[in-house]
């Protein structure tokens, strides 16, 4: 009697946010004996802290395939990923390609798959900032249009897809896999204390900052505006800033590194692994960020968050959570910081289905649908 053929799923990742989102999905898919998964790392983020350390922190086995595309312009990077990922798929075509998030690897892997008539599943579908200057927005919209399974983190994301003409049968509201990773990692992250000791900071005495979006860090004018805006918070409490490698490079190229280093109360640190960063976030008084995922994490942790952008593709973090969109308005940042320090910061609730079980829902849906199609 012949063995039942496995249903093969290839998961494509390439950047730090992808790793956080894919970890619980890989664990959940492996619970189904009929499914066989392979993890392909494009190499979009390729240094140790941006890649290998995250795999270790999240408990992910090393990727099955590493494409090693490295950095480059958006077009060059996307093209290289498509070329190498297509070559991999042609050698052994799977039944499904699964991608997460909105980075260049997300779109490139999805495009390579769909052109080979391989179905695509997009996790974190339907998010919209409606700011086409963001490369991530282009990646989101295009990936959603060519995907066969669209897994959403909120009901609003599903509504966005319906307005764009996506077939309702393709949309599945499952929750947020980034929060799955957060909930699983909290006990280990809470035990971390080395960085706070090294920085000589007490829990709740500092703000945590991320600033890495190309629309800000690639412009000297906007970076200088960001400097002035951050003074609104840094005058009131220390601000810890783990600097993204790309951002540090831009500081130097634009001649602004000395100014950042000279900003009173700004503490620069190297980039951190997932658990170390999560520990700093848990213990912080507030977070200032231009990152999408951190808006979600702070909402679940109950940590006040000020988003340093003019819009957010995650409005549920504003409607339900602790997030306030402040842009680079120095006065607004200072006022909101004063409220937080005075105990009057925004209180939030945890959004629907952000319960740590999103990946289980995704795996169940894929197992049922793909098994049915393979008969």
Of 21-30, 47-56, 163-172, 248-257, which gets the smallest average pLDDT? 47-56
Neighbours of 97 (CB within 10 A): 27
Name the average pLDDT for the chain.
92
Please, what is the Cα angle at 363 between 359 and 364, to 5 degrees?
115
Measured in degrees and rounded to the nearest 5, phi and psi for residue 39 equal -110, 125
- Domains of the chain plus CATH, in order, are 7-175+354-374 (3.40.50.2000), 185-341 (3.40.50.2000)
For the segment 168-192, the average pLDDT, to the nearest whole number, is 96
Give exposure, 203-238, as e/b (b: 16+ Cβ within 10 Å): eeebbbbbbbbeebbeeeeebebbbebbbbbbebbb
Q: State the burial class of residue 373 (Cβ atoms within 10 Å of its Cβ: 0-12, 13-18, 19+).
A: exposed
Identify any residues that bridge with 120 across adjacent strands, giving them in sequence order.
97
Residues facing 11 on adjacent strands: 39, 98
How many residues belong to the chain? 375
pLDDT score for 198: 84
172 DSSP β-pair partners = 151
pLDDT per residue as tens digits for the range 60-93: 899 999 998 887 888 899 999 999 999 999 999 9
Provide the 8-state DSSP code for 153. Answer: S
Q: Which of 199, 186, 290 is nearest to 237 (CA)?
A: 199
279 classed as catalytic = no
Q: Are 321 and 348 within 8 A, CB to CB?
A: yes
Tell me the pLDDT band of 3, cut-offs 50, 70 and 90. low
C-alpha 120 chain-centroid distance: 19
Lowest mean pLDDT among 154-168, 207-221, 354-368: 207-221
| pLDDT at 2 (0 to 100) | 47
Give pLDDT, residue 210.
94
The residues near 319 (Cβ < 8 Å, ≥ 6 apart) are none
In angstroms, what CA-CA distances link 188 with 168, 271, 274, 314? Answer: 39, 19, 11, 27
DSSP code, position 324:
E
What tens digit of pLDDT does each residue of 204-215 get?
999 999 998 877
Residue 74: closest CA among 106, 121, 118, 40 = 106
Per-residue tokens: 305: 């968050």
Residue 141 to residue 139: CA distance in whole angstroms: 6
Q: pLDDT tens digits for 214-234?
A: 777 878 888 888 888 999 999
Q: Which of 41, 212, 244, 279 is catalytic?
A: 212
Q: How far is CA 168 from CA 59, 101, 107, in A?
A: 34, 20, 21
Global pTM? Answer: 0.94
Over range 241-248, report the average pLDDT: 81
**Phi, psi values for residue 275, rounded to 5°:** -70, -40
pLDDT > 60? residue 49: no
Which whole-number Å values give the CA distances from 28 to 159, 356, 364, in the listed order? Answer: 27, 12, 8
Q: Which residues pair with 171 in a beta bridge?
A: 150
Measure the CA angle with vertex 107, ends 275 and 374; round to 5°: 95
For residues 136 and 162, the answer to whether their CB atoms sit within 8 Å is no
- In the numeric block, the tokens 């983020």 are attached to 45
Over 70: is that where the pLDDT of 55 sits? yes
Q: Does position 259 have pLDDT exceeding 80, yes or no?
A: no
Report the share of the chain in percent with pLDDT over 70: 97
């Amino acid at each position: 009697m012949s063995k039942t053929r496995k249903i093969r799923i290839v998961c494509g990742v390439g950047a730090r946010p992808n790793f956080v989102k894919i970890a619980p999905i890989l664990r959940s898919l492996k619970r189904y004996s009929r499914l066989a998964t392979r993890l392909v790392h494009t190499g979009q983020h390729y240094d140790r802290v941006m890649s290998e350390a995250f795999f270790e922190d999240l408990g992910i086995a090393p990727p099955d395939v590493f494409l090693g595309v490295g950095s480059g312009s958006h077009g060059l990077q996307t093209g290289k990923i498509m070329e190498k990922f297509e070559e991999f798929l042609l050698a052994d075509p799977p039944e499904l390609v699964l991608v997460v998030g909105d980075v260049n690897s997300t779109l490139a892997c999805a495009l390579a798959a769909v052109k080979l008539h391989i179905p695509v599943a997009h996790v974190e579908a339907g998010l919209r900032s409606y700011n086409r200057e963001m490369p991530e927005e282009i990646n989101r919209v295009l990936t959603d249009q060519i995907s066969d399974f669209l897994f959403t983190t909120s009901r609003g994301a599903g509504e966005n897809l319906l307005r764009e003409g996506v077939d309702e049968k393709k949309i599945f509201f499952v929750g947020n896999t980034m929060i799955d990773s957060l909930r699983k990692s909290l006990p280990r992250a809470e035990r971390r204390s080395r960085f706070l000791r090294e920085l000589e900071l007490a829990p709740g005495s500092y703000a945590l900052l991320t600033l890495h979006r190309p629309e800000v860090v690639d412009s000297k004018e906007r970076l200088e505006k960001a400097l002035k805006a951050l003074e609104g918070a840094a005058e009131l409490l220390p601000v810890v800033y783990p600097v993204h490698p790309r951002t540090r490079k831009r500081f130097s190229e634009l001649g602004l590194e000395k100014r950042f280093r000279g900003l009173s109360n700004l503490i620069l640190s190297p980039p951190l692994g997932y658990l170390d960063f999560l520990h700093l976030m848990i213990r912080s008084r507030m977070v200032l960020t231009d990152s999408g995922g951190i808006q979600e994490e702070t909402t679940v942790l109950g940590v006040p968050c000020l988003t340093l952008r003019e819009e957010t593709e995650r409005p549920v973090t504003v409607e339900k959570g602790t997030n306030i969109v402040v842009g680079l308005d120095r006065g607004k940042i200072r006022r909101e910081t004063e409220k937080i320090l005075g105990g009057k910061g925004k209180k939030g609730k945890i959004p629907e289905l952000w319960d740590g079980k999103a990946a289980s829902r995704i795996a169940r849906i894929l197992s049922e649908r793909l098994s049915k199609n393979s008969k």
